[in-house]
Structure 1
Amino acid sequence: MGQVRSRLKKMGAGVSAVESFTDLQRRASESDDESEDFTLRHLFQAAERGDLRTMKRIVEENRIPIDITDNSACTPLFMAAKDGHHECVSLLLRQGALADGLRDVSSSWTPLWIASSGGHTECVRLLIDAGANLECKYPETPLYVATREGHAPVVKLLLQAGALTEFSGIPHHSLIEAAMHGHRDYLECIHLIALSGCDLDEPVNQYQQTALHLCSINKNGACMNTLLAHGASVNVTSNYFLVGVTPLHLATKSGCEHLIKLLVTHGADVYLTDENGRRASDWANSAGKNTGCYRYLKYAESNPRPLVYLARWAVRKTLGRKRLQHINDLAVPPNLVSFLWYKTN
């Protein structure tokens, strides 16, 4: 602008003319800035509400940076992924938007993280195909947050894409704990995690308790049944705080007779003792000898399990945890398949 003023003066223009011209230039520049701000604001609004037509018009008619950020450092791609607007996500990616946005993907929200948290399966699929970082953290990874929220289809996509089940020093077994405290499709999440090779018998918390211990504490029979079906050890013991305590002990403490029966059916050893030499029946005894839990446990102690039960445990143990999922493929009668799955006695 200074060069223009000098040239006008050399050409003999008066001071007022020079000032008027430069004022017009300044106003034009401000108008351009306001117009660009207006366009960007509309782009973010369109991305957030999933207005594909408006987004397409803005992108095609204006030369604006596709990865522009708002005051929260979020890109239009992030806003579109947040509410599951997969067509807008697809458009932005085709226009060259960065799949991870402009944040530090090692410790921040990314489009993939927010899409996984919301259970937006198609957005997750598009972002994975675009090369999004599967291990971004806020502070959890997309896999962890999808598991916690019970978004089984997203969990499946992330696992298939190679998402790690262990991160930031947090053991992958904590995924099970996340699923157990989740909702909706949490059982399917546990099923998928178990199939991924997660060790179901490793501690999931600071008390060195396993997922089965937590099932007994939380009276979560559905989760317990899923874990047992995938081969979780029924007689696993804790070695910290409550040393030697099994899931059966804790189910007894919770007063859940149906959990006790489920554990015993799957091979729980009613003779195992805690560090003080107490069996599960002794724990039940503290609640009174007339409880159903106590009567059932004393009956189990005095009546050995049928040989057919022992045969089932032996077959499942021989198959091994990783091959249990192939029970349906065995060349045996359907009723035997059901028996091996504990669907019949």
Structure 2
Amino acid sequence: MEQQHTVGPLELLARSGGRDLKAWLTEQYGNAPGDDLEYDGCLHEAAQAGDMETLQALVQNESYRVHVHTKATWSRGFLPCTPLRVASTAGRSHCVRLLLAAGARVDDLDVKGQTALHVAVVNGWLECVRILLCAGAAPDGSPHHNSSPLHHACREGRDDILSELIRYGAEIDLAFSRSMPACLSSSPLYTSATYRHLSCFQKLLQAGADPNQSGQSHAGTSERSHCLLVDTLRLGCHLPFQQLLVDFGADLTLLPWDELEEHDHQGKAMDDSVCYLRQVKANPRTLASLSRLTIRRALGRGRLSRIPCLNLPPPIHLFLLFESA
């Protein structure tokens, strides 16, 4: 029997985008003829070891400098990648800076479709992340990889890295899996709630993430569509998660109140949250809360970072940004 061909995610992406997979792979991973034979991997070795003295000497030598973009398999590596990707994986921030100054392309991909920024985020190297973003790295990584740097930061609770990604324009409502239909569980907010990272959850909302995200929890299921507020209850998130969603304008009319009645006595965390939501439903928002939400909506997500430029007293700036003095 003929073996069935399995189509990988990269091929699906290439096909759906109308791109020729072979041409794309050749463009990304195909070095010039003879490169692998002529290059001894010294740039990769120095980048991995963080040997600045050796790396600086190498990039000043034209015969090595031309290999700053070379995707090679080297003695400690199994997949073809650039020296910049190696340095970013190992957290060698000084080497990252030096390679960029030597002309390394900041968004070159490895065979998994990962950028240097992506692997720096995955490995938790904040300084490398800052250097790469400052050099113009795409904050959302590559569409050829099935995840984004922002989702990794949310999953690991790295609110410091998340802040940098947001500052450089990362898409805060980007679906986790770019090759699958969008669903509620693919959002960064849902990821933060799933792993109980309240600080990441709050930073996303402060940056303008939609508190009224709704849809099926998982793609391809027949379950009824519901909202993020409901899912924080189903996930067992503690009261501060629901309080943040309400503060940032969650629509309580989206809640299935009849179902919430069935969740009574499902544990203290659930009881506290449901009790809080009932109290909020019974009392209208304050004028201050309505004013803040109205101003933020009028500004739009793209201009929230400019709130400190408004001709208003600093305490009002902090109030609009949901920040404390």
TM > 0.5: yes
Name the counterpart of 1:324: 304
TM-score, normalisation: structure 1: 0.69
8 Å contact 2:46–2:54 — kept in the other structure?
yes
Name the counterpart of 1:224: 201
2:58 to 78, 92, 95: 92
Name the counterpart of 2:212: 235
Cα distance in 1 for residues equivalent to 2:237 and 2:262:
10
Return closer, same or farther for 1:78/1:293 CA change in 2, 3 Å cut-off: same
Cα distance in 1 for residues equivalent to 2:143 and 2:210:
27
2:264 to 275, 285, 293: 285
Name the counterpart of 1:262: 244
SS at match of 2:252: coil
Name the counterpart of 1:174: 148
1:215-271 per-position Cα deviation (integer Å, ceiling 9, x unaligned): 222211011011111111111113444553322112212141111112111111222
Return closer, same or farther for 1:78/1:170 CA change in 2, 3 Å cut-off: closer
SS at match of 1:296: helix
8 Å contact 1:280–1:297 — kept in the other structure?
no
Name the counterpart of 1:109: 81
**1:15-164 matched pairs, under 5 angstroms:** 68-69=39-40, 75-96=41-62, 97=64, 98-101=67-70, 103=72, 108-134=80-106, 135-139=108-112, 140-164=114-138
1:305 partner letter: R
2:233 to 249, 252, 257: 252
Name the counterpart of 1:53: none
2:239 partner letter: E
Return closer, same or farther for 1:243/1:176 CA change in 2, 3 Å cut-off: farther
* Ranges in structure 1 where 5+ consecutive residues have no aligned partner: 1-66, 70-74
8 Å contact 1:149–1:179 — kept in the other structure?
no
8 Å contact 2:91–2:125 — kept in the other structure?
yes
SS at match of 1:291: helix
Return closer, same or farther for 1:270/1:285 CA change in 2, 3 Å cut-off: farther
1:237 partner letter: S
What RMSD over aligned residues (CA atoms) do the two structures have, in Å? 2.9
1:313 to 293, 306, 313: 293
1:287-342 per-position Cα deviation (integer Å, ceiling 9, x unaligned): 26981111111111111211210110111111221221122222211211111122
Relative contact order (C-alpha < 8 Å, sep 6+): which is higher? 2
Cα distance in 1 for residues equivalent to 2:171 and 2:324:
27
Return closer, same or farther for 1:280/1:307 CA change in 2, 3 Å cut-off: farther
8 Å contact 1:217–1:250 — kept in the other structure?
no
Whose radius of gyration is greater, 1 or 2? 1
Deviation at 1:191, TM superposition (A): 1.8
Return closer, same or farther for 1:283/1:163 CA change in 2, 3 Å cut-off: farther
Return closer, same or farther for 1:116/1:283 CA change in 2, 3 Å cut-off: farther
1:23-64 per-position Cα deviation (integer Å, ceiling 9, x unaligned): xxxxxxxxxxxxxxxxxxxxxxxxxxxxxxxxxxxxxxxxxx
Return closer, same or farther for 1:255/1:123 CA change in 2, 3 Å cut-off: closer
Name the counterpart of 2:13: none
SS at match of 2:254: coil
Cα distance in 1 for residues equivalent to 2:149 and 2:258:
31
* Ranges in structure 2 where 5+ consecutive residues have no aligned partner: 1-37, 74-78
The count of corresponding residues between Structure 1 and Structure 2 is 268
- Percent of counterpart pairs with the same letter? 27
8 Å contact 1:100–1:111 — kept in the other structure?
yes
Name the counterpart of 2:6: none
Does the alignment pair 1:200 with 2:172? yes
**Is 228-237 or 280-289 further displaced after alignment?**
280-289
Cα distance in 2 for residues equivalent to 1:132 and 1:280:
56
2:102 partner letter: A
